[in-house]
Amino acid sequence: MAFASELYAAATEALTVDATSGGVRLTLSNLLNTTPPTKAATLTVETAQLRWLKDGTAPTASAGHVANVGSVIFLDNANDLVNFRAIRTGSTSALIRVSYHRGYGKR
């Protein structure tokens, strides 16, 4: 794992987390084939509650980790970044703000 001081914020995006079957993923172009490589991401939850998983399985409105408005999720390895999925828990879609962190860091 690279330490935060070895990384820099290289890209940001806002993702709407709705009821998409299988869950909403991070944008793969921000993760794959970047130079230097994307090592981590910080996500903040806005607008509404959501559920998320990072093992590649699909969360549902009743299964997965709960993240409320104001929650911060930090993903710090390639597996977690690629396998992250989120879905809203109610009728209101959530918004997540994502900062992608890149760097070579120590391995």
Q: How confident is the model at residue 29 (pLDDT cuts 50, 70, 90)?
A: very high
Q: How confident is the model at residue 33 (pLDDT cuts 50, 70, 90)?
A: confident
pLDDT at 1: 56
Q: Is the Cα torsion angle 15, 52, 44, 11 positive or negative in sign?
A: negative
Q: How confident is the model at residue 51 (pLDDT cuts 50, 70, 90)?
A: very high
Rounded to whole angstroms, how far apart are CA atoms 62 and 44? 20
CA distance to 37, 100, 102, per residue, from 7 (Å): 10, 9, 5
Q: Which residues contact 76 (CB under 8 A, 6 or more apart)?
A: 1, 2, 39, 40
CB 39 within 8 A of CB 103: yes
Report the chain's mean pLDDT, rounded to a whole number.
92
DSSP 8-state symbol, 65:
E
pLDDT at 25: 97
pLDDT at 103: 86
Tell me the one-letter amino acid at 40. A
Looking at the chain, the whole-number percentage of residues with pLDDT higher than 90 is 80
Q: What is the distance between the terminal CA atoms of the chain, rounded to a whole angstrom? A: 6
Which whole number is the average pLDDT over 35-45? 93
Which whole number is the average pLDDT over 6-31? 93
